Amino acid sequence: MKRFVCLIALICMPFFAQAKESTKELSLMLEWFINPDHGPIIIAQENGYFKDQGLDVLIQEPADPNLPPKLVAAGDIDLAVYYQPSLTHGVAAGLPLAWAGTLVATPLDGIIVLDESPIKSLKDLKGKTIGTNINGTESAVLDTLFKPYGFSSKDIKLVNVGWNMSSSLMAGRVDATMGAYRNFELNQLALEDHKARMFFYEENGIPPYDELIFIANKKKHDKKAIRKFLRAIELGTQFIVNNPQKAWEIFRDSSPEKLDNELNKLAWFDTVSRFALRPAAKDTGRYNRYAEFLKNAGQLKKVPSAKSYMLDL
């Protein structure tokens, strides 16, 4: 019997070793702590879609939001969640970064004002104070938003309020905010009995862009593994769109002490329609148009061609 067991073990060992070798480890760093914006990632993990693709994905939250692109550029992590506008700036500055898929395919940002505010139109923002967390594109965005009304970003006061946007608006320290997300801050304000509304960028002259994307090192990446990763993300997104309530429960239960609250629940259902249904599909024209917008606004000296930094997946 012992000899039989040993024989079976010897026969099976190569298969086990092959299965182990076929699993590819992939490191992914988020741009922020886990929240509903990362829905497809968490669902792919919890539902076993990464595993089915032969991937072992290590999901990390950054200690510093500025860290992910630096680690990708240095080749210390495989993938990171990032922002399309920031990727364009980074590539223009010479960083070896590349687009490697899309997570949230629409803008989430906009100008938020309280419903009770006398500001009913963008033209009413002249001379007002806007709170922001400073991401480098404020003047380009504001100049475009205000141009139809005959003024510019120089005609408002911009205040860095960090991440205290909702509290600054509720306390009256600012008249409006920018840099806050429509799926989070609008719900957060409503939960605090301060109903608010947003002037959407894409409806007021700003070229539409992808809010959240995946980036890889342009020179050092595993294209085959990235394809498998995006396939799992696609399956995760499909599951969310087809089963939003069930998907919310799976997402919530993946870390209930952090995620099980009313704000995350509201944000979840407001984000479902924003996820990229085809995360591996690239649109170079969309990226070139936004880069041209930044150049025309004086944010870039030279427009990098999207073809040069978008992986062909």
- Could you tell me if residue 313 is inside a domain? no
Residues 100, 114, single domain; the answer is no
User: pLDDT grade, residue 103 (50/70/90)?
Assistant: very high
CATH assignment of the domain containing 143: 3.40.190.10
> What's the mean pLDDT in 111-137?
93
Q: What is the pLDDT of residues 188-205, one digit of tens each?
A: 999 999 999 999 999 999
Residues 254, 277, single domain; the answer is yes
Across the chain, where does the E strand assignment appear? Answer: 24-29, 55-60, 79-82, 97-104, 110-114, 129-132, 157-160, 176-178, 196-200, 212-217
Residues 33, 56, single domain; the answer is yes
> What's the mean pLDDT in 130-154?
92
Among the three residues 203, 237, 272, which one is the final residue of a domain in this structure? 203
Residues 66, 189, single domain; the answer is no
Among the three residues 176, 203, 230, which one is the final residue of a domain in this structure? 203
Residues 93, 28, single domain; the answer is yes
Q: Does the pLDDT at position 157 exceed 70?
A: yes
Residues 274, 299, single domain; the answer is yes
Q: What is the pLDDT of residues 255-289, one digit of tens each?
A: 999 999 999 999 999 999 999 999 999 999 999 99
At residue 5, the pLDDT reads 45
- Could you tell me if residue 3 is inside a domain? no
Residues 86, 127, single domain; the answer is no
DSSP string, 235-268: HHHHHHHH-HHHHHHHHHHHSHHHH-SHHHHHHH
Task: List CB contacts of 126: < 8 A, sequence separation 6 or more.
Answer: 146, 149, 151, 155, 156
- Could you tell me if residue 89 is inside a domain? yes
- Could you tell me if residue 13 is inside a domain? no
Single out the residue of 86, 81, 87 nearest to residue 59, CA to CA: 81
Among the three residues 203, 224, 255, which one is the final residue of a domain in this structure? 203
- The average confidence (pLDDT) of the chain is 93
Q: What is the pLDDT of residues 119-129, one digit of tens each?
A: 999 999 999 99
Domain count, the chain: 2
Residues 196, 215, single domain; the answer is no
> What's the mean pLDDT in 159-174?
93
> What's the mean pLDDT in 240-264?
98
Among 9-18, 47-56, 151-160, name the one with the lowest average pLDDT. Answer: 9-18
Q: What is the pLDDT of residues 56-92, one digit of tens each?
A: 999 999 999 899 999 999 999 999 999 999 999 999 9
Q: At CA 253, angle to CA 250 and CA 256, rounded to 5?
A: 150
At residue 160, the pLDDT reads 94
Residues 254, 221, single domain; the answer is yes
User: pLDDT grade, residue 7 (50/70/90)?
Assistant: very low
Residues 184, 219, single domain; the answer is no
Judge if pTM exceeds 0.85.
yes
> What's the mean pLDDT in 40-53?
98
Range of the domain at 198: 110-203
- Could you tell me if residue 185 is inside a domain? yes
- Could you tell me if residue 247 is inside a domain? yes
Q: Does the pLDDT at position 237 exceed 50?
A: yes
User: pLDDT grade, residue 163 (50/70/90)?
Assistant: confident
- Could you tell me if residue 7 is inside a domain? no
- Could you tell me if residue 221 is inside a domain? yes
At residue 18, the pLDDT reads 46
Residues 219, 89, single domain; the answer is yes
Single-letter amino acid, residue 132: T
Residues 220, 92, single domain; the answer is yes
Q: Does the pLDDT at position 168 exceed 50?
A: yes
Taking the alpha carbons at both ends of the chain, their separation in whole angstroms is: 52
Q: Which H or E element spans position 35?
A: none
